[in-house]
Amino acid sequence: MEADWSEDETVWLPQSLITKCIDGTQELYSFHAQHNGRFNAGLDLGKHRDHSVLIIVEEQEDKQLLRHWKVFPLETQYATVIGYVKTLTDRWKHIERIRVDTTGIGEYVTEDMKTAGIETVEPITFTSTRKQELANHLKQQMLNSTYSFPFIELRLSPTVQLSYPAELNVERFTLRKDGTIGFSHPQGQHDDTFWATALAVSCCTKLTPEPTLKVVTT
């Protein structure tokens, strides 16, 4: 009786935090228009089971504002994704950095992007430490009210409609015995938008170098 629904304690970005960052006066920028500003982008690549997602944010003073959210249908070829990004880099001045998740596919996609004239691309491999760094940074920006976005919905197909705030809310975490954090999402859902957002928001910071293995010779 008089019970309230409680959110899963393993949600990385709670609904209360997401709601706090929604700005009703903020608007996305059109793909077809030209814009000037200081833009950064995050691209999470997928094809068969996961979507490729592009997030673009704009730096304004001490804040980052969501300006573009593109979710590509499943089976979209990487060449099509590259062409889309290339068009935006030509129209929008200036996209200063594009961080791309190359986990599982290698860096050939980012090499193709550079060949196409997208010079500000940076490949990122999602190790456990890198994911923790990216997720922590995104959460901190939201706690500091320095990342904001409008409430937007995207019609992906006649039967599938996505909500940007809901896509941020899908990520779950667990604390491992070694003190690190493991990330996952519920079956049947996707976290591509979450990680594309984390990549884009992180572009204004220098990431911690990954440790390198030392080769010992005898």
Domain ranges of the chain: 15-202
- Residue 134, pLDDT > 60, answer yes
- Residue 213, pLDDT > 80, answer no
pLDDT tens-place string over residues 57-96:
999 989 999 999 999 999 999 999 999 999 999 999 889 9
DSSP state of 11: B
Give the Cα separation of 184 and 194 in Å (integer).
11
Question: Which helix H or strand E contains 64, and what residues bound it?
Answer: strand 63-71
- Residue 174, pLDDT > 70, answer yes
pLDDT tens-place string over residues 5-62:
455 689 999 999 999 999 999 999 999 999 999 999 999 998 778 899 999 999 998 9
The reported pLDDT for the residue numbered 2 is: 53
- Residue 1, pLDDT > 50, answer no
Give the Cα separation of 54 and 41 in Å (integer).
7
Query: Which segment of 5-14, 23-32, 148-157, 167-176 scores lowest on mean pLDDT?
Result: 5-14
Q: Is the Cβ–Cβ distance between 156 and 166 less than 8 Å?
A: no
Global pTM value: 0.91
15-202: CATH number:
3.30.420.240
Give the Cα separation of 203 and 198 in Å (integer).
9
